Amino acid sequence: MAIKDWHEDDRPREKLLKLGAASLSDAEILAIFLRTGTAKLSAIDLARHLIEQFGSLSNLLAAPKDHVLACHGIGIAKYAQIMASLEMGVRYLDGQLKSGQHFAESSMVKDYLRAKLAREPREVFAVMCLDDALGLIHFEVLFTGGISSCSVCIKHVLRHAISHSASQLIVAHNHPKTSAHPSDADDHLTHQLKAACELIDLTLLDHIIVGCGDVLSYKELNRAPF
């Protein structure tokens, strides 16, 4: 049965307008962006199939382009719609974080960094420069490595922070193929970076790792040196 033939209360778009976006399942949200299905699948059925195939909506959004395009019913147009929805979310979070009012909400920072880093095929190291009021000044990926490691120059991180007049930092990196669990090298870098920041009156607020399916915050877990 086509979605247009469903009861009005069950149609994703009408349900959103009546009950709000939070009332929709991941598949219903995705179906709105897909807009149409295939000859055999409605938009909602296609959305459910995609989420089931990738394991979650988050995994779908982070999947490589060729993996998504290989799915039945997904062409360039639908892929573009999915990516546009992701970028719209990132830009919303960027605007919210620049206000400085949402850094107390660690989930928002983690969502922002997940959206920024989860699609990276190699390990990268990024820096969020913040002002005294916790407003986001600048985000940038500073270093790019291989599948399982990334070399980081602490002096370059400090020069980058100073060039943007930052008073506080959040650093982040990704684990493209593994969980967000930190390695001994991650711990060592975090200790070194925090100590270096303190020498120039710069505050390292957190180190966040975006893993394959999860996100870890050093500060949230009370992991040393935070």
Question: pLDDT digit string (tens) for 106-127?
Answer: 788 999 999 999 989 999 999 9
The stretch 56-76 carries a mean pLDDT of 92
Classify residue 208 by its DSSP letter: E
| CATH 3.30.300.30 at 104-217, yes or no | no
Dihedral sign computed on CA atoms, order 136, 134, 117, 140:
positive
Q: Which amino acid is at 129?
A: C
**Confidence class for position 202, pLDDT limits 50, 70, 90:** very high
The pLDDT value recorded for residue 160 is: 98
H-helix or E-strand spanning residue 30? helix 26-34
**Alpha-carbon distances of 98 from 35, 89, 105, rounded to whole Å:** 32, 14, 13
The pLDDT value recorded for residue 203 is: 96
The pLDDT value recorded for residue 80 is: 94
For 130, phi and psi rounded to 5 degrees?
-125, 155
pLDDT at 135 over 80: yes
pLDDT, tens digit (0-9, with 9 covering 90-100), for 26-44: 999 999 989 888 888 888 9
Distance separating alpha carbons of residues 54 and 48, to the nearest angstrom: 10
The pLDDT value recorded for residue 116 is: 93
The pLDDT value recorded for residue 59 is: 86
pLDDT, tens digit (0-9, with 9 covering 90-100), for 144-199: 999 989 999 999 999 999 999 999 999 999 999 899 999 999 999 999 999 999 99
Mean pLDDT of the chain: 90
Stated pTM of the model:
0.78
pLDDT at 1 over 60: no
**Confidence class for position 13, pLDDT limits 50, 70, 90:** confident
